[in-house]
Chain A
Amino acid sequence: MTDRAKSKVLVTMVGFTLLCILTTPWLGQQLTSWDVLFSPRADKVDTIIFWQIRVPRVVLALLAGAGLSLGGVVFQALFRNPLATPFTLGVASGASLGVTIAMVTGIHFTLVGLSATSLASLLGAILSIALVYGVARASGKTSPSTMLLGGVAISFFFSSLILLLQYLSDAGSSFRILHWLMGDLSRASMDSVLQLAPFVISGILIVSIFHKELNLLSITDDIAASRGVDVHRTQKLLFFAVSLMVAGIITVCGPIGFVGIMAPHICRILIGANHRFLIPASILFGASFLTLCDTLARNITSTAEVPVGIVTAILGGPFFLWLLFSKKKSPI
């Protein structure tokens, strides 16, 4: 595939993402008229639904989808493993453990605009990142496979602690924990968008700067180093930048699975492994995919919304399997 052909795929993806942005806020149980576009500050129900509920929710889905997909791209390159995502390394389970503790203990406070649950989630995610990296570093075994296995072990350990806390908690807390663990965008607001945007935008900027290094690191550490890349410094920087970005996403939206594995893999099939194209493609694909899934999640039943994490897995799973076993050559 030539660079020109890849550029055409990217332009198509940009068009598709724009189409998602322009259409999805209009889709919902309550039909809204075009008037809402011209009176964003009016107190009518239509206007409130459109500007204060649907638009922030679509923007949140775009940001979260882009960030989750990008996190997968970076971790798969750093660990040279198609299954690696910040989730695999325990970021999601760390955040979930933090939220579970906050919910079980019933702590309520707000600090710099963040609720106790959000702070607990962020701290839990940071704790798991620090544990995986710290343990690997202390033992002198910072190879991709060791860190990946360490992350999986920490992930299982945290998941077991969550189950234990859920088992010991009352029915109300247990349900709230379960609901949070499903990943949900129904709490979207302009505040949550503003909370998440710095995490995702800074993550995208940092990763985009390092697209050349990611290409080389995805081959082998030795190749990257012999071509001039400062391997350890770059790996560390990307590991922490992306983990923090995904921690921010989980804090605001809960753990929405599968996007980080599926979106980068589909983009590799569509556009190849060169991160110069793969990074923007994954950002666009992840953003559109989560936006569409969330639109489906809030329209699938007329009585209640389905958490988007369930929709991404239900839609993504079979589609991913079909792609893997179809005749098209898979880069895995």
Chain B
Amino acid sequence: MSSHSSSIIQASGISLSRGGAQLLANASLSVNIGERLAIVGSNGAGKTTLIRCLLGLADPDSGSIELNGHPLSETSRTELAQQIAYVPQQLAERISFTATEFINMSRYAHTGGASMNQFDHQGTEAVEEAIEQTNISHLRHQSLSTMSGGERQRVNIAAALAQKTPILILDEPTAHLDPKQRGLIQKLLANITKNREITLVVITHDLNWASSDFDRIIGIRDGHIEIDAQADTFMKKEVLMKVFDTELLLHPHPDSGRAMILPYSSCSSPSTSSPKS
């Protein structure tokens, strides 16, 4: 784990229970400035609960979270929104705002509102830049309710980018997307973080993406942080077993040699495959 001095988010011993279920148990982590951090784990492991705590959307029963060295509990919603932008899993189909309206709303913490005016030059620039980065110019005046899942997700990310924050947290941004759309989102996130000005925290089930495009991976199981490792050391059978409690089929990538997870087929047996690296 990296030093405390370069961390932008520091969570120490956070626990959270709801309705008798322990959602998070003594979880500690730090996120460093400019880092790309992936959070992985089985369904219901506590990944979303963890990021909800980091976003101030859920209050832990115990433990502390600091943002830039200040307690999160003492940070106002506006200050938080100026530091962290959040991309939820999927936007509901019922949302009938146009792409431009939805993206403009993310300027709320900076300009105090959804509707930009002619004096909000900084906001206009931020919105235009986000639209360009996500390549959604053609969707400007289209309602979100008439967009495909991939288009909606790009608008979702554009809105977070227009918020102009140093930290971006995404909850399964590629879930339910076809391979092309998934690739577009992954490339987009790689591009916006390549100069390390944005700290990226992503929940994903795509372990191949996590191991190839991220610096560090945190593995959660039953509310506990089981593994906090560099991405290149994560794709090992024993590590994956510890996080997912199942044996996964690993095979080296033909070009990079990096271990990749392969889907099981009726002809293959997990016991016969292992990473050659």
Residues of chain A contacted by B78 (CB below 8 angstroms)? 228
Contact assessment for B114 and A215 in the assembled complex, using a CB-CB cutoff below 8 Å: yes
Contact assessment for B88 and A220 in the assembled complex, using a CB-CB cutoff below 8 Å: yes
Residues of chain B contacted by A113 (CB below 8 angstroms)? none
**A220-B88, A226-B57, A331-B145 as given contacts; A272 in contact with B97, CB under 8 Å:** yes
The CA of A1 and the CA of B140, in the complex, are separated in Å by: 10
A-B contact count (CB 8 A): 84
* Interface residue A91 (Cβ < 8 Å from any Cβ of B): no
CB distance from B160 to the nearest CB of A (A): 9
The CA of A34 and the CA of B172, in the complex, are separated in Å by: 69
User: Which of A1, A212, A329, A331 is the one whose CB lies under 8 Å from B105?
Assistant: A212
Contact assessment for B96 and A268 in the assembled complex, using a CB-CB cutoff below 8 Å: yes
Contact assessment for A274 and B101 in the assembled complex, using a CB-CB cutoff below 8 Å: yes
* Interface residue A33 (Cβ < 8 Å from any Cβ of B): no
CB distance from B110 to the nearest CB of A (A): 8
Closest chain A residue, CB of each to CB of B115: A276
Residues of chain B contacted by A1 (CB below 8 angstroms)? 98, 141
Fill in one digit per residue for B88-111: 1 if any A CB lies within 8 Å of its CB, else 0.
Answer: 100110111110011001101100
Contact assessment for B106 and A227 in the assembled complex, using a CB-CB cutoff below 8 Å: yes
Contact assessment for B108 and A216 in the assembled complex, using a CB-CB cutoff below 8 Å: yes
Chain B residues bordering chain A, tally (CB within 8 A): 36
Chain B positions 47-95 with a Cβ under 8 Å from a chain A Cβ: 52, 55-57, 76-78, 80-82, 84-86, 88, 91-92, 94-95
Residues of chain B contacted by A2 (CB below 8 angstroms)? 141
* Interface residue A222 (Cβ < 8 Å from any Cβ of B): yes
CB distance from B204 to the nearest CB of A (A): 19
* Interface residue B15 (Cβ < 8 Å from any Cβ of A): no
Fill in one digit per residue for A196-234: 1 if any B CB lies within 8 Å of its CB, else 0.
Answer: 000000000000000110011001101101111111000
* Interface residue A152 (Cβ < 8 Å from any Cβ of B): no
Residues of chain A contacted by B81 (CB below 8 angstroms)? 226-228
* Interface residue A182 (Cβ < 8 Å from any Cβ of B): no
The CA of A212 and the CA of B81, in the complex, are separated in Å by: 15
CB distance from B145 to the nearest CB of A (A): 7
Contact assessment for A212 and B115 in the assembled complex, using a CB-CB cutoff below 8 Å: yes
Chain B positions 229-262 with a Cβ under 8 Å from a chain A Cβ: none
Contact assessment for B57 and A274 in the assembled complex, using a CB-CB cutoff below 8 Å: no
The CA of A165 and the CA of B108, in the complex, are separated in Å by: 50
The CA of A206 and the CA of B221, in the complex, are separated in Å by: 46
The CA of A220 and the CA of B115, in the complex, are separated in Å by: 18
* Interface residue B44 (Cβ < 8 Å from any Cβ of A): no
Contact assessment for B109 and A228 in the assembled complex, using a CB-CB cutoff below 8 Å: yes
* Interface residue A273 (Cβ < 8 Å from any Cβ of B): yes
Closest chain B residue, CB of each to CB of A277: B115
17 of the cross-chain contacts (CB-CB < 8 Å) are A212-B115, A216-B108, A219-B91, A222-B55, A222-B57, A222-B88, A226-B57, A226-B80, A226-B86, A228-B77, A268-B96, A272-B96, A272-B98, A274-B97, A276-B114, A276-B115, A331-B94
Known contacts A226-B85, A276-B114, A331-B94; can you find 9 more A-B pairs with CB under 8 A? A212-B114, A226-B86, A227-B109, A228-B77, A230-B77, A268-B96, A272-B98, A273-B97, A329-B146
